[in-house]
A and B are shown apart, each in its own frame.
Chain A
Amino acid sequence: MPEDDEDQSPPSDLRSQPPCSPNKSRNCISSSSSQTFPDHVLENVLENVLQFLDSRCDRNAASLVCKLWWKVEGLTRSEVFIGNCYALSPARLTQRFKRVRSLLLKGKPRFADFNLMPPDWGANFAPWVSTMAKAYPWLEKVDLKRMFVTDDDLALLAESFPGFKELVLVCCEGFGTSGIAVVANKCRKLKVLDLIESEVTDDEVDWVSCFPEDVTCLESLAFDCVEAPINFKALEGLVGRSPSLRKLRLNRFVSLEELRRLLLLGAPQLTSLGTGSFSRGDQSDEQGPPDYAAAFRACKSVVCLSGFRELMPEYLPAILPVCANLTSLNFSYANISPDMFKPIIHSCHKLQIFWALDSICDEGLQAVAATCKELRELRIFPFDPREDSEGPVSELGLQAISEGCRKLESLLYFCQRMTNAALIAMSHNCPELTVFRLCIMGRHRPDHVTGKAMDEGFGAIVKNCKKLTRLAVSGLLTDQAFRYMGEYGKLIRTLSVAFAGDSDMALRHVLEGCPRLQKLEIRDSPFGDVALRSGMHRYYNMRFVWMSACSLSMGCCKDVARAMPNLVVEVIGSDDDDENREFVDTLYMYRSLDGPRKDAPQFVTIL
């Protein structure tokens, strides 16, 4: 079965040659002298047909039909998705796909976000951009996630692709405002510049002024993660000469007053707005407090609202005019109390995506449940992310949400206490759930009412939410919870486990059970060699496996590496890596078509 998220053939076919030989295919006429003519016609026909295929899944399937289809599909694929940048080399990409216009590339595993991986591990964009610079001068779009991108990479990108249109950097690092400035300046056709949750160093470069002087093509500009002041006057000018601008996400160095001025300039076209700091500077009010609500009234098209990085709560009601239209609201940087929150949410009937801090409390969640009947995605982040902090949200909030928001599809919920009953209720009330991520912040915490493990709650989720594809578990969990996962988690693709399970059996249940498992990330759980060996039949079919602070021995990891030559087995250790060390610190393994990478740093041992 072809992978639906890799553009390469499935692991059974790890050769660089395409699958079928021409002799076997009915479509290819072989060993006849006139074969070139029909082939060309067929190729043209195929090309014209295949170019309409957009879905990755369909394209992967089409490429397996025969050699000709493989070739033509490779010629016509314009958008390439690579889920793990080390699964193949840039050269392989350019050899197979000749006319790529858009690349989506992912690098580090997700646990790197939480400092479980040393910096300088890799995922460098450099080899990709330099290879593509020669192969795809027509490249228009680059979307990177968790990659290490330098200013030089950005400069090369800006210079090599004259028609470049979209740059999206999510959770990336390694570059600064000088790299952004080059992109702004040289990419004259730039439509999208989205910096999302990335670390951008402040090189004290006025990148906003670097955009060309004349009318721009900008449709989306998001820089809310940039921790550097900007030239507001230049930004005002830019917004003024960007008639196509629909999405604007400001950073916290833009004050409320400046936001107001920007909105008066370009509000009616904006569909997505990041409000910046949402606080005022030290200006005195000469004519009384400014009418921020008027500025928001002008935002007739805004459906997505975020920002509030340094919220001054007394000004929050200014957003009321847009609430009725909102489908997406992100309050996750705003410490808003339930009393401040309720009047706002009361107007947000159309809300589908809602992110917030737990400062809104169970009370706030009840208000959400009462109003937001269309809610699809909910994320509640902890204001005080410590194990023993006050927990303003609990099973009560979750229960309310499950009863009020029946269409819920995606949940991320941080809390200090939870009950199995609430999870069971949610499993029945919200059958559309595809993503369920619950983080009970105290490790190994049981159901705080019954004192039992959280097995039954998570068991109900996997059993009743038949569409579940992503699961993250927490709290006190025994092997039983994993038995449920293995038995019922038929569609689970991504599983995150931390401080859970009793024995190897737990991991075995999962590895022997969940047939669609692609991404497995485990930390601090008592799983050892037996469990690791039990999954050997699976690892080629997975994108990656991460296990840190478990009970894996070096010997077993070496065995796995030996048995599976196309699997790259990385052991990430500490400096004083002792040969006598009993357990491996971190195991990160993934399949690769081109063997182990050459840029591994010292602390990575590839077995």
Chain B
Amino acid sequence: MEGCPISRETCPKLLDLIPQERKWYHDKEKNNSDQEKKLELRLAPPGGDEEDLSAMKKKKNLETRNNIKKEAEDKPIFNLSGNHFSPSNKTTYAPPHISHKRTAPGPVVGWPPVRSFRKNLASSSSSKLGNDQINKSGEGEKQVEPKREGMFVKINMDSVPIGRKVDLNAYSTYEQLSLAVDKLFRGLLAAQRDTSGGEGEEQPIIGLLNGKGEFTLTYEDNEGDKMLVGDVPWQMFVSSVKRLRVIKSSEISSALKCKLLCSYGNMFYSHN
């Protein structure tokens, strides 16, 4: 699974659009005592400051590391502070980024400092208190992620008032999910667009994962962050997704779209 987008020269780095981010930190250092009070814990827009500036190119040794979720997650692209979107962060490592800002929430690589095999306890349903034990026979079964009965999550689409529910356990790849979304919403979308009573032609909903379509598929994860679908291995996605949302691609800035298009080939990860 390759990390970085290759054609960096053709796509402007979104960071170039954000002027001199680091200067913030220097100012803060000078005015420490004033900032002290301001820097107390408060609810602030996700700062995205700890975001790694680039993803590492990695060899494929990540299959056994699918426990690691938090570090590999992308920053939300709907950041109020308008920070960049960093694609294809499937790797477990991300170069550290200086964070002097004290109020920035959001996942950070390697924090809290808990080793990866201790991290999946919360999502593994077999560790629920006294109920719903997943029975595993001792031999012959190698399961890293527990099976779930039917994992129905809500899915909403922009400009469609009615939401649907989709069973994620019915699929094992992003492509399948994308097709399912098309099936679920094609009719509804056509009905919505049919304003003047004319023939509502049903257009297939495509390009949900590569930024090319009119719509793009996103989700909200278990930390409440809005994420782009398709970055992490399927199972990792299933274990952290809470709901789905199909948004208009035009909502994402053109620079992001460019990055999406460039990294599509690398980004798409099918879990077999």
User: Within the assembled complex, what's the spacing in Å between the Cα atoms of A216 and B121?
Assistant: 36
Which one of B52, B59, B107 contacts A120 once the chains associate, using CB atoms below 8 Å? B59
Can you list 13 A-B pairs, Cβ within 8 angstroms, ordered by A? A115-B94, A230-B139, A253-B139, A281-B138, A282-B135, A310-B124, A313-B129, A334-B127, A387-B111, A478-B36, A499-B99, A549-B98, A583-B98
Given A232-B139, A503-B32, do A574 and B127 touch, yes or no (CB 8 Å)? no
In the assembled complex, how far is the CB of residue A451 from the closest CB belonging to chain B, in whole angstroms?
A: 7
Interface stretch (choices B63-71, B165-173, B179-187, B258-266):
B63-71
Within 8 A of B (CB), among A105-123: 111, 113-120
Interchain CB contact under 8 A, A444 and B135: no
Q: Please name all residues of chain B whose beta carbon is closer than 8 Å to the beta carbon of A573 when the two chains form the complex.
A: 95
B109 touches A116 (CB 8 A): yes
| Bound CA span A443–B108, Å | 10
For residue A603, CB closer than 8 A to chain B, the reply is yes
Give the complex CA separation of A346 and B141 in angstroms: 36
In the complex, B210 has a CB within 8 A of chain A: no
Contact assessment for A576 and B138 in the assembled complex, using a CB-CB cutoff below 8 Å: no
**Segment of B112-120, B188-196, B200-208, B248-256 engaged in the interface with chain A:** B112-120
Q: Is the CB of B29 within 8 A of A381?
A: no
Supposing A119-B58, A310-B127 touch, asked if A582 and B112 sit within 8 A by C-beta, the answer is: no
Q: Does A228 contact B (CB under 8 A)?
A: yes
Q: Which residues of B contact A120 (CB under 8 A)?
A: 59
- Of B56, B96, B133, B140, most A-chain CB atoms within 10 Å: B96
Whether the Cβ atoms of B96 and A228 lie closer than 8 Å is: no
A394 near B: Cβ within 8 Å? no
Interface positions, chain A 474-492, Cβ under 8 Å from B, are 476, 478
Residue A279 at the chain B interface, CB threshold 8 Å: yes
Q: Bound state CA distance, A113 and B119, in angstroms?
A: 12
B122 pairs with A586, CB closer than 8 A: no
A426 at interface by CB-CB < 8 Å: no
Q: Return the 3 tightest CB-CB contacts between A and B, nearest first.
A: A114-B110, A549-B96, A574-B95
Question: Are the CB atoms of A388 and B138 closer together than 8 Å?
Answer: no
| Chain B residues, Cβ within 8 Å of A310 | 124, 126-127, 133-134, 136
Supposing A385-B119, A499-B99 touch, asked if A414 and B133 sit within 8 A by C-beta, the answer is: no
Q: Given A386-B223, A574-B56: A114 and B138 within 8 A (CB)?
A: no
- Considering only residues 369-390 of chain A, those with a C-beta below 8 Å from chain B are 381-389
Q: Contact: B105 with A575, CB < 8 Å?
A: no
B contact residues around A414 at 8 Å (CB): 112, 114
Q: What's the nearest-Cβ distance from chain B to residue A507, in Å? A: 13
* Complex CA–CA separation, A321 to B38 (angstroms): 55
> Does B272 sit at the interface, judged by CB under 8 A?
no
A119 touches B139 (CB 8 A): no
A405 within 8 Å of B by Cβ? no
Interface string of B128-154 (1 = CB under 8 A from A): 111001111111111010000000000
Report A261 CB to chain B, min CB distance, Å.
Answer: 11
Task: Find out whether the CB atom of B115 lies under 8 angstroms from the CB atom of A586.
Answer: no
Which of B58, B93, B126 is A117 in contact with, Cβ under 8 Å? B93
Assuming the A-B contacts A120-B59, A386-B223, are A258 and B138 also in contact, with contact meaning beta carbons closer than 8 angstroms in the complex? yes
The answer on a CB contact under 8 Å between A312 and B56 is no
Please, how many angstroms separate the alpha-carbon atoms of A314 and B107 in the complex?
A: 35
Q: Which of A584-606 contact B (CB under 8 A)?
A: 585-586, 603
